Amino acid sequence: MSAQAKPIHNARTNDLFHRVILSSLVLLLSCSCTAATSDRQPPMISKIAKDPVTSLYTISIKADQSPLVVDLAGSLVWSTCPPSAAAHSTVQCDSATCAMAKQQCPPRCRYVDGGRFWENRQPGSTECACNVHPLNPVTGECSTGDLTSLAMSTNTTNGTMELRPEESFEVLGACAPSRLLTSLPVGATGVAGLSRGPLSLPSQLTAQRGFGNKFALCLPDFATFGDTPVYLSVPDPRIYIDYTTAIPYTPLVTNPANTGGHYIPVNGISVSWHAANAVAALPRGALDIDVRTGRGGVVLSTTTPYTIMRPDVFRAFAMAFDDAIMRGKIPMTPMRRVHATEPFELCYDGAFPMLKRSGYDMPYIKLELGNGATRNWTLFNSNYMVQVEGAMCVGILPMGPRGMPVAGEPAVVIGGKQLEDNLLVFDLEKQRLGFSMLLRYQLSSCRSGNFFRN
C-alpha cells in the first residue's frame, strides 16, 4: 500500500499511522468480523457535559481537553487548527483515505469561507493535501479543511465500574477555521461525529482497537466506546446491574441516501393518560423512508434540542395529545390549553398530579416500533415536558420554515430532550439500538454509574 500522508514533520511516524488507520478502516468496511477477544484493547469512556446556553452536549476526548460537540449525525471529527501546513500532517489527495473522506461530503451547506480556507497556504508546494468538508450541525455551514491527525486522550475501563488510566491515541480529522464555531458552546473547538460512517469517531476507534463495533451514550453524563457493560444502580445505590443486558432493543434502519444516520423503525405514535388512549391519525406511509430519495423516516439527533416533526406528522400528534390530555385529566380539575410560549406549540395550565418518586403525572407518548423491536419506546414526563412561566409545554415541535435540522429531510428528528437520562447502546455489529427509556422512571439515572463519582 502506498503512503497515505505527506506530513511536514516526523515523516516516518505519521506515514505509519495513516497506513494503520487506512488498513483498519478497509478491514472494517470489507467484513463484519472483529478482532479476536484476546486482541481487543480495553473499552473507553469519556465525560459528557450539557451546555446550559445552547443545550448542546460536549465530549472531553481531545488531548488538550478542549470539548467537541457530540453529533450523532456527524460523519467526521473536526477541530480548529492553525492555518499553517507546518503545524500538522496532511493526508495525500490521491489516497484511498481521501477518497473515503470525500464520500462524507455534506450534500448542501453554506461555506463560511467560500471553500477557500486552505487555498495557497503553501506557495510553491508540489504536494496535494486532502481537502474535506467539516460541517457545523447547528448553523448548517461548512468549510474546507485538511484531513490530518488529531491527538486524543481518554480513560479506559476494566468492564466493571472502575476507570483505568487515560490512554493517548490519534484519529483522522478535519481542520476547520474558527468561523465554523458559530453557535457552538463557548470553549468548544469542533465536533465529534458519531454516525455510522467510516470516519466517525466510533468507527475509527473500532478499527484501531478491535473492541467491538459498539458505543453507548447516557446523556448528559458519559459515553462509552467498545463492547463493555454499563452498570447503573437501581434503586438501591449499593446494587448495580448491567443495563446493556436489561434494556429493549430495536433494529436500526438503513437509509440508502443517508447511510450514516441512526434511523429507527417507527410505525405509529400514540398518547395515553389514565383511561384515555389516542392514536395519531398519521397519513399513510408518513413515517416511511423513500428508498429513492432518502426522505422520511425517524432519526436520532444530539444537536437538535427538541424533537421536531414534519407538519403533517405534528398535526396528527398534536390532535392525539390534546385529546388524551383532556379526556384523561382528573374530573373537575382546571386543565386547559393555554397560549403557547415560543418555541413550543402545545402548552397547558392546570393541576398535574405529582407521582411519589418520578415527578409529574403526565401522558405517555408511545413510539410504536416495528421490524422486530422487542418493545415500544415510551416517553415519560420529564423526557418531553418543559416548565415555563405559568404553564407546562410539550417539548416536541413542528418543522420550521428552514426545514429539518438533519440532512435527508426525515419525517421526525428525535432530539436531545427525548434522549436525556436514557441509556442508548448503538450496537453496530448487530445493527440495533438499545434504549432504556427514562431512567428516572426506573429509579435510576445516568449519574448513578460509578465511573466519575470522584
pLDDT in tens, the chain (454 residues): 333 443 333 433 344 344 434 444 433 433 333 334 446 789 999 999 999 999 999 999 999 989 999 999 999 999 998 655 456 778 888 888 888 887 777 767 888 876 555 554 444 444 688 888 899 999 999 998 889 999 999 999 876 667 788 899 999 999 999 999 999 999 999 999 999 999 999 999 999 999 999 999 999 999 999 999 998 887 777 788 899 999 999 999 999 888 899 999 999 999 999 989 999 999 999 999 998 899 999 999 999 999 999 999 999 999 999 999 999 988 777 788 999 999 999 999 877 877 766 678 899 999 999 989 999 999 999 999 999 998 999 999 999 988 898 888 999 999 999 999 999 999 999 999 999 999 988 889 998 876 655 4
Q: Same domain for 205 and 252? A: no
Within a domain: 107: yes
pLDDT of residue 127: 63
Q: Same domain for 349 and 387? A: yes
CB atoms within 10 A of CB 153: 17
pLDDT of residue 360: 83
- Looking up cell 400514540 gives 270
Last residue of a domain, one of 228, 251, 267: 228
Q: Same domain for 211 and 281? A: no
Within a domain: 197: yes
Whole-angstrom distance, CA of residue 205 vs CA of residue 90: 20
**How is residue 107 annotated by DSSP?**
S
**CATH number for 339:** 2.40.70.10
Report the number of distinct structural domains present in the chain.
Answer: 2
pLDDT of residue 160: 67
Whole-angstrom distance, CA of residue 199 vs CA of residue 18: 13
Within a domain: 234: no
Note whether 106 and 133 are within 8 A (CB). Answer: yes
Q: Same domain for 245 and 222? A: no
Last residue of a domain, one of 196, 228, 260: 228
First to last CA, the chain: 46
Q: Same domain for 355 and 440? A: yes
Q: Same domain for 265 and 398? A: yes
Provide the pairing of β-strand 190-193 with 68-71.
Answer: parallel
Q: Same domain for 115 and 185? A: yes
Within a domain: 115: yes
Q: Same domain for 62 and 139? A: yes
Q: Same domain for 382 and 260? A: yes
pLDDT of residue 181: 96
pLDDT of residue 286: 96
pLDDT of residue 168: 94
pLDDT of residue 48: 96
Q: What is the residue range of 220's domain?
A: 11-33+41-228
Note whether 248 and 346 are within 8 A (CB). Answer: no
The partner residues of 174 in beta bridges, in order of sequence, read 78, 147
Provide the pairing of β-strand 231-233 with 240-242.
Answer: antiparallel
Within a domain: 233: no
CB atoms within 10 A of CB 341: 14
Task: Give the global pTM.
Answer: 0.88
Q: Same domain for 296 and 224? A: no
Whole-angstrom distance, CA of residue 239 vs CA of residue 328: 36
Q: Same domain for 113 and 213? A: yes
Q: Same domain for 277 and 357? A: yes
Query: Nearest CA to 86 among 46, 127, 135, 57?
Result: 127
pLDDT of residue 162: 72
